[in-house]
A and B are shown apart, each in its own frame.
Chain A
Amino acid sequence: MPEPNIFVNNPLVKNTEQAGLTREQDLIARVQRGQKELFYELVQPYERRVYAAALAILRNESDAEDVAQEAMLKAFANMRQFRAEARFSTWLIQITVNEALMRRRRGRTVVMEAIDDRRGEESDYAPRDFADWREIPSEALERKEVRQKLAEALATLDRKYREVFVLRDMEQLNIQETAEALGISVASVKTRLLRARLMLRDLLAAGWEQGWFSRLPFEKGNKPW
């Protein structure tokens, strides 16, 4: 017999965010008690982020989807090991990153990757000075061509910069979690993150000058830099 949902119309649950968190905790507890059919409801809010994490590492849509599914199954199989003090989303992303790294190692030459990873962190990077560039408003993301340009800019980054940026700024892991997920030091995360953010800023600014965003819905002079 299904258990009643104690969070629906409960006046003690004060706001939507709180309701979301307590709902998640409720789902976790139920799945851990054996209500397997609720697992998809638990992970559904994170399914896109799981896919994005896998894609950032594998750069292949088919492999990323496969790994996303495998990671979800692994999370499901290990639900009893999940502890409440960790963020569920972080736990899920870390499993995904681990699965993706294993998949990549099986598919490519390990020696080449190791050499690539040992190159210097190149922390000295002077950002370009752009005389005329303006902030790209978040509303612009409604447009597919803008999202496409941003994705292309991200894809041009070296792997080590791209992975750190995706986990930290797209997946919202903190710096320590990013370091643990990728098996690198906190200092390396900070250095790579700096470089990734600066390069993306420069790429977008250059794109602005090249007219990538020329049809954005704001006028010259609005939000000047």
Chain B
Amino acid sequence: MVNCEQVWHDISNYIDGEVDAGLRSAMDEHFRTCPRCSSVLAGMRNVIGLYGDERMIEVPAGYGRRLERRLAQNARPASDQWSTWTAWLVPVAALLVFAGGLRVANSMTTEPALKSEHAQTGQGIPPDMLVVVSADARIFHVPGCDFIHNKDRERTLTAKEAMQQGYVPCLRCLRQYMQTASAGHVTLESEADVDQDTDFEETQRRGK
């Protein structure tokens, strides 16, 4: 049997199918006999149903039209967007792209060199996961991670691309993919070895 407090603690997971069979069965039994908890369950389902309805999303007047126009401008053929005096740039750009492509192709055929001797490559990180890197750093992060520095100079790419370019996962926001995750503890000193940028150290000092 479970009591009301236990039911409230897991009621959201119950709705999402995130509880095991034993707990689900105990909660089912509790709902049959507890009006208050069955009321909470019904109310929560009501909330999810209402807010999940498309009608709850209201957009400003003309939003779709403005978006379509902006995308249409972006999708126009290059010849419509550029004036003729810039046309000579095309062959130059093509050469640069070709040279860059050779370099990228070369880098993809060899194992990327990790940019820190303390770095770990991480295991099982979804290759298409969107991550961010910032200028002059060697770490890639989940967007929103507190330990990103140079936030005004960050860029988005996939985890696969980041690893191909030699970046390593952040020990904070990507801890679940690191070998240390199972050990459960990484010293601040070893993290500082991986990420020596000023922001990171400042954050640590503030935390002490």
Contact = CB atoms under 8 A, between A and B. Distances in A.
Interface of A: 36-37, 39-40, 43-44, 47-49, 51-52, 61, 65, 68-69, 72-74, 76, 81-83, 85-86, 91, 94-95, 97-98, 101-102, 105-106, 110, 114, 117, 123-127, 129-130, 133, 135-136, 138, 141-142, 147, 150-151, 154, 165, 169-170, 172, 175, 180-185, 190, 193-194, 197-198, 200-201, 204-205, 225
A183 B40 contact: no
Contacts of B53: 138, 141
Contacts of A37: 72, 75
A65 B63 contact: yes
Name the prevailing secondary structure of the B interface residues. helix
Nearest to A57: B144
Interface stretch (B24-32, B97-105, B146-154, B185-193): B146-154
Nearest to B71: A40
Interface residues of B, number: 61
Given A183-B143, A201-B40, A165 B51 contact: yes
Given A169-B51, A184-B144, 16 more contacts: A65-B60, A74-B156, A76-B71, A83-B128, A85-B128, A91-B128, A95-B156, A98-B132, A117-B146, A124-B9, A130-B39, A141-B55, A165-B51, A175-B16, A194-B9, A201-B43
B48 A98 contact: no
A43 B68 CA distance: 10
B208 interface: no
Name the prevailing secondary structure of the A interface residues. helix
Contact of A106 (B52, B56, B58, B151): B151
A169 B48 contact: yes
B47 A204 contact: yes
A39 B75 contact: yes
B48 A197 contact: yes
A159 B40 CA distance: 23
Contacts of A44: 64, 68
A194 B151 contact: no
B18 A175 contact: yes
A225 B39 contact: yes
A147 B130 CA distance: 33
B47 A40 contact: no
A198 B118 CA distance: 44
A141 B56 CA distance: 7
Interface string B30-56: 000001101110111011111111111
B51 A101 contact: no
- 10 nearest A-B residue pairs (beta carbon): A183-B144, A36-B75, A183-B142, A194-B12, A201-B43, A98-B143, A141-B55, A52-B57, A225-B39, A48-B57
